[in-house]
Amino acid sequence: MKSKTTILFAILSVVLILMFMTATTIFCQDQKGLISKNRIYTDPESAIHAKVSEEFSIILDANPTTGYQWQLANPFDEKILKLIGSDYKAPKTKRVGAGGKEIWTFKALAAGQTTISFKYVRSWEKDKEPGKSIAFAVNIDLE
């Protein structure tokens, strides 16, 4: 009986420690701005759905040490969306040249559809094709 109680206590202790570590990690990430209260989108194959006045973010893999950066490739409908801003989040590793994430945040202004297109380019290579191109379909509803 005593060994079952000891094993049960050990398992419960491990579970509680793991729960504490997970909660601490989420809290720390939120404080650093890595977790957004907005909806997050990373897959261009899935359409973005938002309601008027909601904000959402698109997160793209990026590595500025290569000289590349994400830029808007084409104008989107500014009657429907507003670009709030973009920010680069470096990786947590100390490895030189490691890539991070570029976060683009938008606000839905009115109902409708538009496309947000990005290109991954080096600013000094004006006549060269982008390293990558990506587009997200956006659908904004009233409610």
Q: Where do the H-state alpha helices sit in the chain?
A: 2-31
For the stretch 74-114, pLDDT in tens is: 999 999 999 999 999 988 888 888 889 999 999 999 999 99
**Is this model's pTM higher than 0.75 or not?**
no
Given pLDDT bands bounded at 50, 70 and 90, which one contains residue 9? low
End-to-end CA distance of the chain: give it in Å, rounded. Answer: 58
Highest mean pLDDT among 25-29, 36-40, 91-95, 107-111: 107-111
